């Protein structure tokens, strides 16, 4: 599922800022205002889907900036992003109506422009922690690829399990584009009375005005559809992100092959435990030890079973909480439903770790 969540729009109007302030304060009498300068005032609205409104004086005109939520116009929360193009238009017409209430003439939605937008892709999953290994690989790959401007990792602590667990990260590869991958269910349940069951794995792309204009040749809101944003993500971002994750997984596999080369049975316990951060899934390490040994098949079966038992014990004690089983299937879901890259993932002792990718017919580029 993908759609729009939060966004910021602006418009420049030929109405005196004092008039706009007076009308705005009558419309939202309980709003908190803060003068950032002689020419700029910020209003905390927090009513329905409107978060903030900022007024800026510019010569004989006023710039109005509105920070708002698309889904909260129709719902009490933003658990589900706005996916419907018609509803997008309804929200934007409502913003136009709001602006017309605080100026002395009429504008249309054709006069509204994006400051930024947050495009959300999400998947309902049973347990967020089961994606820990994939999220960790993704984060390492991004850090290896980009000189990040801003990065934050999130963890929480479960008193019942007595373990930390991952709840996501923020990563900004460069100015104008920020990635946020996190557990929407945890965020919602922490801050709202209305709880959600199960976990929601959410990937947000925050695109600023500069990036929007670069990719759409405009930042006019009525000219940018939800589907066009999805197409843009698929064309300009999906392959890059998929390549980064695949490269990191292949690197981890190469590291494991070097570490386990010439292993002995009595070394397996320490080898596996010392290299847990490189083990994405049991199937990968199973394939590695099967192909590295020259011992009999019956002996190989003993090794494989021993590794399984070590991983089961390790994941029960690991902090952050994680799962070493089923990640090949989860990885395929992550590629297809979160990154929006059409990739099949296979791993066994005959074909080894294989990524079957679609042909990228469009020319891909970085933002």
Q: d(Cα 270, Cα 285) in Å, to the nearest integer? A: 14
CA distances from 54 to 140, 163, 187, 212, 264 (A): 37, 43, 27, 21, 66
Query: Are the CB atoms for 335 and 346 separated by under 8 Å?
Result: no
Round to whole Å and give the CA distance between 287 and 277. 17
Name which of 139, 163, 351, 325 is nearest 249 in CA terms.
139
The whole-number pLDDT of residue 162 equals 58
CA dist 341 and 203 (Å) reads 13
Q: Domain residues of the chain, as ranges?
A: 1-111, 244-357
Tell me the two tokens of residue 281.
């899934």
> How far from each other are the two terminal CA atoms of the chain, in whole angstroms?
23
pLDDT at residue 159, as a whole number:
57
CB 257 within 8 A of CB 278: no
Residue length of the chain: 367
- Six token digits for residue 285: 């390490």
Start-end of H helices in 217-323: 226-233, 239-260, 268-274, 282-292, 297-317
Longest dimension (CA), the chain: 86
Check residue 157 and give its pLDDT.
59
Q: What is the pLDDT of residue 294?
A: 82
Buried b (16+ CB within 10 A) or exposed e, 7-23: bbbbbebebebeebbee
Low-confidence ranges of the chain (pLDDT < 70): 148-151, 154-166, 193, 359-367
- Rounded distance between C-alpha atoms, residue 361 and residue 367, angstroms: 18
Q: 163-174 and 40-47 as β-strands: parallel, antiparallel, unpaired?
A: unpaired
Q: What's CA 326's distance to the chain center, in Å?
A: 22
- Each residue's pLDDT tens digit, 138-158: 999 999 998 766 667 766 655
> For residues 5 and 204, is the Cβ–Cβ distance under 8 A?
yes
pLDDT recorded at residue 354? 94
Concatenate the DSSP letters of all residues of 101-149 into one string.
TTSSS---GGG-EEEEEEEEEEEEES-GGGGHHHHHHHHHHHHHHS--S
**231-238 long-range Cβ contacts below 8 angstroms, 24+ apart:** 233/119, 233/121, 233/205, 233/340, 234/340, 234/341, 235/362, 235/364, 236/364, 236/365, 236/366, 236/367, 237/205, 237/367, 238/339, 238/340, 238/341
Indicate the fold that domain 1-111 takes in CATH. Answer: TATA-Binding Protein (3.30.310)
Pair of tokens at residue 228: 């066009």
Instruction: Say if residues 2 and 103 touch (Cβ distance below 8 Å).
Output: no
- Four-point Cα dihedral 139, 145, 151, 156, nearest 10: 10
């Amino acid at each position: 599922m993908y759609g729009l969540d939060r966004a910021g729009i602006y418009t420049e109007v030929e109405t005196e800022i004092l008039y706009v302030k007076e009308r705005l304060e009558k419309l939202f009498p309980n709003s908190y205002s803060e003068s950032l300068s002689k020419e700029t005032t910020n209003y905390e609205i927090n009513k329905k889907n409107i978060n903030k409104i900022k007024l800026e004086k510019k010569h004989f005109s006023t710039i109005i900036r509105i920070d708002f939520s698309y889904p909260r116009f129709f719902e009490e929360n933003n658990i589900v992003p706005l996916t419907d193009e018609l509803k997008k238009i309804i929200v934007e017409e409502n913003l136009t109506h709001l602006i017309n209430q605080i100026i002395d003439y009429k504008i249309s939605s054709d006069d509204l422009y994006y400051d930024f937008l947050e495009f959300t892709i999400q998947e309902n999953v049973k347990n967020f922690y089961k994606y820990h290994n994939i999220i960790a690989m993704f984060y390492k790959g991004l850090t290896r690829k980009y000189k990040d401007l801003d990065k934050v990792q999130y963890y929480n602590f479960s008193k019942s399990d007595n373990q930390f667990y991952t709840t996501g990260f923020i990563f900004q590869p460069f100015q104008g584009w920020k990635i946020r991958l996190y557990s929407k269910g945890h965020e919602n349940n922490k801050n709202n009375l209305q709880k959600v069951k199960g976990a929601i794995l959410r990937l947000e792309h925050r695109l600023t005005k500069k990036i929007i204009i670069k990719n759409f040749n405009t930042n006019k809101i009525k000219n940018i559809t939800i589907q066009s944003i999805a197409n843009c993500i698929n064309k300009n971002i999906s392959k890059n992100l998929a390549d980064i994750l695949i490269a990191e997984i292949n690197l981890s596999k190469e590291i494991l092959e070097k570490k386990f080369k010439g292993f002995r049975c009595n070394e397996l316990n320490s080898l596996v435990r010392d290299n847990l951060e490189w083990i994405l899934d049991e199937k990968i390490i199973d394939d590695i030890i099967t192909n590295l040994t020259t011992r009999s098949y019956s002996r190989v079966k003993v090794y494989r079973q021993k590794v399984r038992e070590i991983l089961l014990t390790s994941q029960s004690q690991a902090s952050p909480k994680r799962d070493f089983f089923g990640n090949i299937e989860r990885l395929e879901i992550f590629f297809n439903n979160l990154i929006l890259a059409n990739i099949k993932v296979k791993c066994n002792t005959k074909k080894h770790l294989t990524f079957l990718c679609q042909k990228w017919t469009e020319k891909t580029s970085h933002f």
